């Protein structure tokens, strides 16, 4: 880790971490950027670093939305040193003279999981890829929940926050972001997640996300992978208020088993010796996803149980 000044100093400051040593202040500030995401607490850019000719993701945090003082600096250092094969690494952090903050991440050309699932790519209906992505997400979340002295709660886990490389290896992004935001901005993040269909029901009464609410969000993502459907209908009609976990429960009650998964999945066996698709495996996968989406937090499996059950499905 390379650091020149204190994180909260009212001057330009850049901290770089592993694989981010080529970053410079001028490169970050002068990089041509394209806005690819906006929220109440900041903006996400795709930017080309001029010196290294590498694409990076730059997340700008509005000064009024972030926590202050040593707490922010401590969390940046923790997140910057966090490395796992299924977590997006933090490469660098820039603090400007007016309190502006920029976090630098790698750019993944394959895009995010939501685009992959609903982008018309036939690969998204291959069981081996669905299974591999699910295992990777679970491993990344397991590290967040169990790999530190205190669990890191994601709080905004969704398919748009799962990035993919060219081999469809998944990387969880934006982990630890709620720890960098003040209470108001953090709550706005939770509400945004709810609007997209990933919010656990108990968060209606609670303010803070938990390990159990992360597991709920993971369950919704597993159902997305299996069905190819969006978690929620963003433009519902008076007669249709679609919500994926409820749709799946009703399909079971109505004995509409083939509504539980995309029909192309059963046609997707490969010759590479990987996890082959069977209706039994699909059913076990579905049951695990629905257990994660249990309305009762105490009935949801812990992340280690989720990972163990996923690995058992592949045997």
pLDDT, greater one: 198 or 270: 198
β pairing state of 101-106 and 55-61? antiparallel
Stretch 210-231: mean pLDDT: 96
- Per-residue pLDDT of 130-176, as tens digits, reads 999 999 999 999 999 999 999 999 999 999 999 999 999 999 999 98
| Topology of domain 2-106, CATH | Phosphorylase Kinase; domain 1 (3.30.200)
Instruction: List 101's β-bridge partners, or say none.
Output: 61, 95
Cα 296 to Cα 292: distance, rounded to the nearest angstrom: 10
**Highest-confidence segment of 189-193, 253-257, 261-265:** 261-265
Could you give the percent of the chain with pLDDT greater than 90?
57
pLDDT, greater one: 62 or 218: 218
In the prediction, which pLDDT does 302 show? 98
* Residue boundaries of the structural domains of the chain: 2-106, 113-313
| Nearby residues of 29 by Cβ (< 8 Å), 6 or more positions away | 94
Cα 32 to Cα 261: distance, rounded to the nearest angstrom: 42
| Nearby residues of 247 by Cβ (< 8 Å), 6 or more positions away | 229, 259
Cα 195 to Cα 187: distance, rounded to the nearest angstrom: 13
The superfamily (CATH) of domain 113-313 is Transferase(Phosphotransferase) domain 1 (1.10.510.10)
Stretch 97-118: mean pLDDT: 92
5: left (phi over 0), alpha (psi -120 to 50) or beta: beta
- Per-residue pLDDT of 20-62, as tens digits, reads 999 999 999 998 889 998 877 789 999 999 888 999 999 998 8
| Nearby residues of 124 by Cβ (< 8 Å), 6 or more positions away | 116, 117, 118, 130, 225, 228
Q: How many residues does the chain have?
A: 315
Instruction: List 48's β-bridge partners, or say none.
Output: 55
pLDDT, greater one: 10 or 204: 204
Which pTM was predicted? 0.91
């Amino acid at each position: 880790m390379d650091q020149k000044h204190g994180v909260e100093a009212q001057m330009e400051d850049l901290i770089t971490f592993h694989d981010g040593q080529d970053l410079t202040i001028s490169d970050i500030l002068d990089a041509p950027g394209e806005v690819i995401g906006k929220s109440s607490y900041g903006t996400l850019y795709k930017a080309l670093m001029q010196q290294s000719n590498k694409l990076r993701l730059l997340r700008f945090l509005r000064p009024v939305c972030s926590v202050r003082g040593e707490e922010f600096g401590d969390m940046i250092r923790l997140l910057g040193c966090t490395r796992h094969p299924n977590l997006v690494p933090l490469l660098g952090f820039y603090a400007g003279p007016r309190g502006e903050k920029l976090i630098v991440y790698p750019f993944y050309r394959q895009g995010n999981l939501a685009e992959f699932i609903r982008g018309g790519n036939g690969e998204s209906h291959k069981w081996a890829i669905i299974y591999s992505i699910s295992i990777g997400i679970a491993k990344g979340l397991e590290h967040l929940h169990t790999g530190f002295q205190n669990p890191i709660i994601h709080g905004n886990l969704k398919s748009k926050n799962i990035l993919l490389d060219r081999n469809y290896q998944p990387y969880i992004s934006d982990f630890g972001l709620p720890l960098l935001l003040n209470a108001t901005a953090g709550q706005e993040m939770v509400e945004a997640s709810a609007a997209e269909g990933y919010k656990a029901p108990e968060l209606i009464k609670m303010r803070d996300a938990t390990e159990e609410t992360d597991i709920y969000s993971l369950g919704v993502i597993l159902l997305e992978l299996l069905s190819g459907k969006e978690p929620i209908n963003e433009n519902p009609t008076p007669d249709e208020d679609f919500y994926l976990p409820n749709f799946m429960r009703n399909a079971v009650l109505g004995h509409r088993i083939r509504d539980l998964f995309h029909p192309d999945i059963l046609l997707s066996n490969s010759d590479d010796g990987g996890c082959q698709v069977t209706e039994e495996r699909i059913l076990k996968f579905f049951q695990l996803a629905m257990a994660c989406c249990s309305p009762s937090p105490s009935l949801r499996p812990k992340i280690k149980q989720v990972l163990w059950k996923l690995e058992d499905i592949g045997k």
